[in-house]
Structure 1
Amino acid sequence: MFKHFLTLEWKAFTRSATFGRSLALKIFIAFIAIYFLSMALFVGITIYPILKEIFPKQEPIYIFNNFIAIWFLWELIIRFMFQSLPVMDIKPLLTNNIQRSKIIHYLLLKTILHPFNLFAPLIFVPFGIRIITSNDYSFLTIFCWWVAMFSFVFLANFTNFILIKKFGENLKGLLPYAVSIVIFIFLEYFEIFSITKFIGQSFNLLLNYPFLVIIPIVLTIGIYILNFNSLSKNLYLDSTFRGKTQKINTSDFQWLKRFGNIATFLQLDLKLIWRNKRSKSVFWTSIIFIFYGLIFYPNPSFENMPFFLVFVGIFTTGVFLINFGQFVPAWDSAYYPMLMAQNISLRQYLNSKAVLFYFSIIVLFIISTPYIYFGKHIFIINTSCAIYNIGIGVPSVLFLGAYNKKRIDLEKRGFGNYQGMGITQWIISLPILLIPIILWSIVYYFFNDMIASTVIALIGIMGFILRNYFMNIIVKKYKSRKYITINGFKENQ
């Protein structure tokens, strides 16, 4: 039956009208995954001699075990943000003589094939082999340790399944758990209680008593059964119908009427952002990434890589442009055919998007001005990057949006949700991120950072002056691809 399910999914993938673009995106993601998996394997091969050199009086596996708790926490955080739940069209299956238990087992076991489940094994398996060859422990002992580690990997996998199902669309529910984690970190920092040492000593005990491997196995089986029971209760055709009343935000943003004929579109965009889960998560992500510079500006190691400051400047002032703009016009995919069927100016529609992006860039730039504390040169770079985003970034995003025809469900969670992603979303990053960095670096190499920033700003100013010329090209492109876009949105329903 599992083979039959895989065959059905393969046919659905290869017969899709977006097969070419979907395949290109998957190949691109595969290359990224291979790169990080290779890095994990490199760490697994080299970590034993590194630990041996840094801690010569301690056994490397004891040091390794002390970091298991930290790894498990980061594993859950990264998985929650980036790992998506398995997707399968189950409605046709439920109307046939197919046991629901088989469908559920397939959905759960399918998550085991996710690349996230390979990162940790590529580290601890080579590490364990090195311990065996060094005669530190017997093969049986390390084998049981491997089983325990694999159990923790799958425990993280199935725990993430529950977290996404329960809190993926309600991040506020995670607050008590986040507070608990902060308390444990506090206890760890002040050496009141060390959860890392407790977990580490538990795995050390397993090395002396291998039969204790049954504990992580039972935990993993338990979380699997918990997932199975949860899905069993909701795997029905009518499970999505809910008999509850939702509170509606009726704000009309009347102050936007001063923008004239594009005011209606701006009101629609702001209502969309404020009322829907996916778009609201983009908004809050943009706010969070304002503090992105705090990771790099205080770090002296980046003084030898000034071009990286351009990346931070572009990203800090243009994070909303990138995150929200890459899905234009897919945000309106639910009613895009209706918009195109009305007597509505496509130019006004696109101008409203441009004004929204101009406003976001200016606001983010103003909020980022305190970064001048780290140096006047950073303020100058951020200013030039903001101007570049206004003049070049905005028309680039709008133009490439004409090739976006993947529908977006606004009510699905934002974190780990890759619905609507395509090769267009990756291409958008080229003119916004790579080109200004390359241009700035070339000018900086021959002159200095001031002239390089001036050149970037002048390019942005020139782009803004030519905005009407660019908009004419963009409007023509949207008109020529109107029916392709509409059909794409309908297909992905």
Structure 2
Amino acid sequence: MNFNLISHQHKAAMRSPIYGKSIGIKLLMGFIFFIISLELLGFAFFVGTALAKQGGDPLNELLSYFIYFFAAMLILRSLMQKLPTMAAMPYLLLPIKKSRLVNFILTKPLYNILNIIPIIIIVPILIPLSAYLTSGQVLLILASIIICDLFVNYLAIYIKRVQIKYEIVFYIFLLSIVLFGFVDHFNLIDIKSYSASIFQSMIEQPVLLLVPAAMFLGAYFLNYRLLFGNFSLEEFSKGTASAKGSLSKLTYFERFGKIGEFMMLEMKMIVRNKRSRTLLMISPLFALYGLMIYPKPDMLEEIAMIFVIGVFMTGSFMMNYGLYLFSWESAHFDLILTSNSSYLNYLRSKYHLMVLSSLIMYFLVLPYTYFGFTILLVNTVALIFNIGANTFFLLYFACNNNKYMDVSRGAAFNYQGVSSQHFFLMIPLMLLPLILYAPFGIMGYSTLGLAFIGTIGLLGIIFHEKLLIAVTKRFIYKKYKMAEGFRIKS
């Protein structure tokens, strides 16, 4: 029976119209994963060599970082791992036990490509440490890594499934990550010593491996119970009505006329569809990127570096959303073209929505002023440049995208609507301000460089109406080609 189910899934994938059209994207992503794997192998071997050379107790030092590793894997899986699914409705009409179908779905994560990352990292680290370890210790380390990663795997799946219906779960998860980083940064709890103690105990007393094994089985059971109880309920994937209808009570934007109506419709689309909602929920995570850079005093002297980070953080949602600016509405793009509204108002609404998202992200990163006034200055200039320049850059080049996108599908490993231009478009978005700043930075006039970039952004804000008119002409020129492409559903 399981073999037949696997065969059906394979045939469905091979016969899908998406398979042939997305093979280029799959090859590109496969190549990128191959390069990343080689880099991870090299980095892991370097870490193992460094641990072996420093003497002392390299095993204890290695084990002290295991909790950080699994926390990183939990975040990675939560962001990138696709939920295991199958077209279950046809099987419900056949004499197949629902429990068998649920178990089949829950075994699919065991074949996820992310599962090899722990092995790719830990094996090269252990090779230089082989002189300090017995074969039994090596096997126990590998066993603990595999079992704990299985627990993390199914925990991430459970969190993602529950947050579909209760989005508050995502924010609790996000808050937990922030608290973990806060506790670690200010050394409120010695996480490294706890990590070393826990995993050292597993190696010295293998019977303790039953604890993470029980945690894995518990996570599997939670997923099983959740799927079994909601296997054929459509409302589970749609979320609660109150959560999706909350925006209907927001009437503030109605005072802006047609522009406000367009913005309201766009925000409803973002909240009500899985792919756009996922992007909305993960955008605040990009604000945490500063924690990797700002606490290092020497990095604050690199104005160019913190400026690029400022552009990225204040414009994270704007950039990710703007890359597919018209594809989000590809399902009803023809209706937009035939509606009794001006295209200029339509583009104004998108411009103001991107401006609003950048302002929200700016206020989220304001607490980084704690690390210095320079950060506040740089982030302010980055915000002005994003609003006055990058928004129009995205509006202009979004007119070239004519690939259909189903916004109801998940975002993880979903390359529908993605083309090579999206990867290359991110380069000028991030590098253009750096190129503009470079001559001033080389000559040692950092403040003058920031003033120059800020002036460009201010000019874009002052003349935003003229720029929107120019983009509207581009949109009118490209609208028929865009509409033709959006009609091709894959």
Query: Would the aligned equivalents of 2:306 and 2:375 in 1 still touch at CA under 8 Å?
Result: yes
TM-score by length of 1: 0.78
What is the CA deviation profile of residues 76-116 of structure 1, one whole-angstrom value per residue up to 9, with x for unaligned ones?
23322332213433334545676656654543333233332
Selected match of 2:423 from 423, 426, 430: 426
CA distance in 2, matches of 1:287, 1:358: 16
Question: Which residue pairs with 1:338 in the alignment?
Answer: 335
Alignment of 1:45-194 (within 5 A): 45-54=45-54, 56-58=55-57, 60-95=58-93, 103-132=101-130, 134=131, 136-137=133-134, 139-173=135-169, 189=187
TM-score by length of 2: 0.78
CA distance in 2, matches of 1:53, 1:243: 53
Query: Would the aligned equivalents of 1:155 and 1:220 in 2 still touch at CA under 8 Å?
Result: yes
Residue 299 and residue 154 in structure 1: after superposition, are their counterparts in 2 closer, same or farther (change >3 A)? Answer: same
Question: Which residue pairs with 2:44 in the alignment?
Answer: 44
Structure 2 counterpart of 1:301, one-letter code: D
What is the CA deviation profile of residues 170-207 of structure 1, one whole-angstrom value per residue up to 9, with x for unaligned ones?
3423677788885999699556xx77656644543444
Q: Alpha-carbon deviation of 1:472? A: 0.6
Structure 1 counterpart of 2:59, one-letter code: I
Selected match of 2:396 from 393, 399, 402: 399
Structure 2 residue 438 is the aligned partner of structure 1 residue 435 = no
Structure 1 counterpart of 2:482, one-letter code: R
CA distance in 2, matches of 1:381, 1:180: 29
Report the secondary structure of 1:120's partner residue.
Answer: helix
Structure 2 residue 454 is the aligned partner of structure 1 residue 469 = no
CA distance in 2, matches of 1:318, 1:418: 22
Structure 2 counterpart of 1:4, one-letter code: S
Structure 2 counterpart of 1:79, one-letter code: R
Structure 2 residue 279 is the aligned partner of structure 1 residue 318 = no
Report the secondary structure of 1:487's partner residue.
Answer: coil
Query: Would the aligned equivalents of 2:150 and 2:216 in 1 still touch at CA under 8 Å?
Result: yes
Residue 256 and residue 444 in structure 1: after superposition, are their counterparts in 2 closer, same or farther (change >3 A)? Answer: farther
Q: Alpha-carbon deviation of 1:347? A: 3.5
What is the CA deviation profile of residues 340-376 of structure 1, one whole-angstrom value per residue up to 9, with x for unaligned ones?
3434433432232123324444665677678778677
CA distance in 1, matches of 2:336, 2:82: 31
Q: Alpha-carbon deviation of 1:482? A: 1.0
Residue 96 and residue 393 in structure 1: after superposition, are their counterparts in 2 closer, same or farther (change >3 A)? Answer: farther
CA distance in 2, matches of 1:295, 1:84: 27
Query: Would the aligned equivalents of 1:45 and 1:127 in 2 still touch at CA under 8 Å?
Result: yes
Residue 190 and residue 315 in structure 1: after superposition, are their counterparts in 2 closer, same or farther (change >3 A)? Answer: closer
CA distance in 1, matches of 2:382, 2:200: 52
Structure 2 residue 234 is the aligned partner of structure 1 residue 234 = no
Residue 159 and residue 375 in structure 1: after superposition, are their counterparts in 2 closer, same or farther (change >3 A)? Answer: closer
Question: Which residue pairs with 1:388 in the alignment?
Answer: 385
For structure 1, list consecutive stretches of 5 or more residues without a partner in the other structure.
Answer: none
Report the secondary structure of 1:422's partner residue.
Answer: coil
> Percent same amino acid at aligned positions?
22
Report the secondary structure of 1:481's partner residue.
Answer: helix
Question: Which residue pairs with 2:304 in the alignment?
Answer: 307
Structure 2 residue 14 is the aligned partner of structure 1 residue 8 = no
Residue 354 and residue 222 in structure 1: after superposition, are their counterparts in 2 closer, same or farther (change >3 A)? Answer: closer
Q: Alpha-carbon deviation of 1:256? A: 4.3
Structure 1 counterpart of 2:249, one-letter code: S
Residue 103 and residue 340 in structure 1: after superposition, are their counterparts in 2 closer, same or farther (change >3 A)? Answer: farther
For structure 2, list consecutive stretches of 5 or more residues without a partner in the other structure.
Answer: none
Query: Would the aligned equivalents of 1:184 and 1:195 in 2 still touch at CA under 8 Å?
Result: no
Aligned residues: 477
Q: Alpha-carbon deviation of 1:397? A: 1.7
CA distance in 2, matches of 1:432, 1:378: 20
Query: Which one is further off, 470-479 or 204-213?
Result: 204-213
Residue 419 and residue 100 in structure 1: after superposition, are their counterparts in 2 closer, same or farther (change >3 A)? Answer: farther
Query: Would the aligned equivalents of 2:52 and 2:128 in 1 still touch at CA under 8 Å?
Result: no
Q: Alpha-carbon deviation of 1:320? A: 3.3
CA distance in 1, matches of 2:229, 2:198: 35
Q: Alpha-carbon deviation of 1:64? A: 2.3
Query: Would the aligned equivalents of 2:147 and 2:216 in 1 still touch at CA under 8 Å?
Result: yes
Alignment of 1:202-213 (within 5 A): 202-210=198-206, 213=209
CA distance in 2, matches of 1:340, 1:156: 47
Structure 2 residue 476 is the aligned partner of structure 1 residue 480 = no
Residue 70 and residue 446 in structure 1: after superposition, are their counterparts in 2 closer, same or farther (change >3 A)? Answer: closer
CA distance in 2, matches of 1:454, 1:190: 40
CA distance in 1, matches of 2:362, 2:341: 32
CA distance in 2, matches of 1:473, 1:36: 38
What is the CA deviation profile of residues 122-147 of structure 1, one whole-angstrom value per residue up to 9, with x for unaligned ones?
22223344444x2631x244224322
Residue 481 and residue 291 in structure 1: after superposition, are their counterparts in 2 closer, same or farther (change >3 A)? Answer: same
